[in-house]
Amino acid sequence: MAATTRDLESDKAQRIVDAMRSAVGERGAAGSTFDHVARAAGVSRGLLHYYFQTKERLLVEVCRRDCDIRMALLDEAFAASRDADELIGALVRSLEDLLRDDPGFIALVFELFTSSRHNAEIAAGLSDLNGRVRVHIAEQLAIKEAEGVIRLGAEADAVASVLYALADGLALRMLSEADRDWGPTIDAGALAVRQLILPV
């Protein structure tokens, strides 16, 4: 019997997700076994199989939950934005906060992408997740445009795709050259975004 959506919201399932997230940060995805995660979460290995069936599904679930948290924070910032400058500022702060407070999440995303090139289950899960995030950002942008807060320089989905790609690319560069001063690059990125998110 497979776990239900309600099951995945249980305390035990959340402990498993948290344990896998910690394990990936310490050992990488390949080194994070069900045995290790079960011990860290204080549950049986069989319970991991009940909730997630495979390690790949668990890894995607870890990424999904983190994305949900990030999107909720970004939604709040978007809702509070009163013009294009404030909205672009919210996007910049979101990236900077993520890099400062949780670089492990970014590492997980890139590790999952690498794994997805050789694993169809991870590829399908990651594609679905990326699509949901892109659509969500596009919807939020369209709402702000409809409210008269911003004007979009292209269709909302295209703008969301560029923002997503820009954030991914900057995050990878910034993690790989952590000692560099990235302020001017962030400013240049914001300047580019201003061609897509325009004042009314």
Decide which of 1.10.10.60, 1.20.120.1200, 3.40.1160.10, 2.60.40.1660 is the CATH code for 1-53.
Answer: 1.10.10.60
98 Cβ contact partners less than 8 Å away, ≥ 6 residues apart: 70, 105, 106, 171
% residues pLDDT > 70 (the chain): 96
Contact by Cβ (8 Å): 164, 185: no
Top pLDDT among 156 and 121 is at 156
Helix (H) or strand (E) segment spanning residue 152: strand 151-152
* Whole-angstrom distance, CA of residue 60 vs CA of residue 77: 26
Yes or no: domain 60-198 corresponds to CATH 3.40.1440.10: no
Does 60-198 match 1-53 at the fold level?
A: no
Q: Give the containing element (helix H, strand E) for 147.
A: none
Residues 154, 196 contacting (CB under 8 angstroms): yes
Angle, alpha carbons 106-110-116 (nearest 5°): 145
Give per-residue burial for 97-125: e unless 16+ CB within 10 Å, then b.
ebbeeeeebbbbbebbeebbeebebbbeb
For the chain, the structural domain boundaries read 1-53, 60-198
Q: Tell me the whole-structure pTM to 2 decimals.
A: 0.85
Q: Which tokens in the block code for residue 10?
A: 């249980």
Lowest mean pLDDT among 24-33, 132-141, 164-173: 24-33
Q: Cα(107)–Cα(97) distance, rounded to whole angstroms? A: 15
| pLDDT averaged over every residue in the chain | 90
Dist. CA 113–CA 175, nearest whole Å: 16
Instruction: Give the pLDDT band of residue 77 (cuts 50, 70, 90).
Output: very high
CA dist 163 and 190 (Å) reads 10
Name residue 30's amino acid: A
pLDDT tens digits, residue range 169-184?
999 999 899 899 999 9
Q: Which two tokens stand for residue 129?
A: 């997740």
Q: Is the pLDDT of residue 195 over 90?
A: yes
pLDDT for res 163: 97
Residue 156: pLDDT band with limits 50, 70, 90: very high
DSSP state of 195: T
Mean pLDDT comparison of 27-36, 77-86, 99-108, 118-127, highest-scoring range: 77-86
Q: What is the pLDDT of residues 16-66, one digit of tens each?
A: 999 998 888 788 777 888 999 999 999 999 999 888 988 888 988 999 998
